Amino acid sequence: MQSPATRRDFLKRTLFGASAFSIYRMGLAKLRPTATEPGSLINLTATEAVTLLRSGDLSCEKYAAALLEQCRKRRALNALIWQDEEMVLEAARAADKKRAAKKVGPLHGLPILVKDNFDTASAPTTGGTPALRNHRPRADAPVLASLFSAGAILLGKANMHEMAFGVTSNNAAFGAVHNPYNPAMIPGGSSGGTAAALAARMCAAGLGTDTGGSVRTPSALCGIVGLRPTTGRYPPKGIIPLSHTRDTPGPMARSVADLALLDSVITGESAPLQPTPLRGLRLGVPRGFFYENMDASLAPVIENALTTLRGAGCVLVEAEIPDIGKLFAASLPIAYYEMNHDLSRYLQESGEKMNIRDLIAQIASPDVKAAFETYVIGPKAPTREEYETAMRGSRPALHAAYRDYFRAQEVAAIVYPTTLLPARPIGEDDEVELNGKKVSTFGIFTHNVRPNTTAAIPGLSLPVGLTAAGLPVGLEIDAPQGADRNLLSMGMAMEEVFGKLPPPPG
């Protein structure tokens, strides 16, 4: 096995500007012994896999076959809604032929998993809901098209919380997704299938969507990394929408270098990244909103992570973001109002012969159906006036609160627990217990990750340890609008000091 220093050196040289010859000489020579051991292929990160696939030291077909075998072994997790094994192998064989012809892209032959709310021309796009079970889009979502053009292969469509409107991925239509670290527990949502599959080594990288924390919450609960980019950084078209003001696709993987790789392909920002020096890095710690009422089993893991950052030279600035809770609460009408209009537009433009009420009538998950019937088309649906008031008032005020905080405190990022509690048992869709009290499942799992969605700033969830019960804990790092690549550089450095989680059992 490689030492942590050897592995870090390989990743840096692979992703951050080394010549092809140097990659071969210094990276592949180190990887080759472990890459041929039984089971080792599934443990490759996306960056490691792409290096081997592009060089020809690993065939795309062999790698795809190893991942497909792992998908079969971990089928009980119910992480996938759709997969066509022969289609995957055919695409891998075609990639091998391109490699022989020296036609390789930056993601050559890399299988990726995609949440089943992304339009895919080669597979159904269900949104995890019965009404769209046979929905077949005409084209791939633009964000996917960029990955496929770079050589990526569609490994499958991942299970999710129905209509991406929830935090547990307990889907009554397609079945619950199980957490690889404890199959009795939720993986988080709504991108729970992608997170569970990546943690279980069924794939190295994938995509989710994040409207109210749906990339970062499952990333935290499953022990992987997930990025919510600055809103608008990635093209949102071709994805079943909830709220155009808050929706964004986001990459998920097992290393920050892999997130940076996918981000560079999607955005075209391919300038080399280096881990940010942590000594002297100022980080905001707003305890008043983001740390209060942490679960007793999670709190020591988070505090240890802060101690680790301090020991690495970071300057932790304990200061609050004024009125963040009130400002975010006042912004809630934005998403609920836009759900009605954005989803109606998607159905019409995609050629589906149904309206939003037809779709809602077929929703299988009780929590999702109740939410749509109450807050989207029902008695508590926001009025146009309430929506416009939030768009003109609380939303820009929240933007300003974050902007002023970064400037006044002179911090590069904000750090806080991604969720206030670790995974809870499957089936607790309405309420969970937190420190002896019953609280809203949706409300508590999204408490920390929702404010930045309205503020449109990027957020990165990193695994920082396990609870005494062996459940993953995530730490979130938020940066100012547009500072996505800086955020990834910080994440790379923090990942080195936190180390990697042990893989899940099984």
**Catalytic annotation, residues:** 115, 190, 214
- The two structure tokens encoding residue 146: 């960029």
- Measured distance CA(473)–CA(219) in Å, rounded: 9
Sequence-distant (≥ 6) Cβ neighbours of residue 442 within 8 angstroms? 166, 167, 367
Q: Where is 51: in which H helix or E strand?
A: helix 46-55
CB count within 10 Å of CB 272 equals: 11
Closest of 205, 195, 215, 211 to residue 264, by C-alpha: 205
Using the structure block, give the residue that is written with the tokens 């019965």: 130
Side-chain-side CA neighbours of 341 within 13 Å: the count stands at 14
Closest of 423, 488, 476 to residue 451, by C-alpha: 476
Per residue, what are the HEC states of 427-488? CCCCEEEECCEEEEHHHHHCCCCCHHHHHCCCEEEEEEEECCCCCEEEEEEECCCCCHHHHH
- Measured distance CA(187)–CA(472) in Å, rounded: 10
Can you name the residues that pair with 205 across neighbouring β-strands?
Answer: 253
User: Which three-class secondary structure state does DSSP give residue 15?
Assistant: helix
Q: Where is 346: in which H helix or E strand?
A: helix 332-349
Quick one: angle between helices 256-267 and 142-149, nearest 10?
100
Closest of 147, 224, 161 to residue 366, by C-alpha: 161
- Measured distance CA(66)–CA(62) in Å, rounded: 6
Closest of 241, 130, 189 to residue 419, by C-alpha: 189
Q: What torsion, rounded to 10 degrees, do the Cα atoms 144, 147, 152, 157 define? A: -20
User: Which three-class secondary structure state does DSSP give residue 175?
Assistant: strand
- Measured distance CA(313)–CA(309) in Å, rounded: 7
Q: Strand (E) positions, 263-335?
A: 282-284, 315-317
Cα end-to-end span (Å), the chain: 19
Closest of 112, 290, 274 to residue 207, by C-alpha: 112
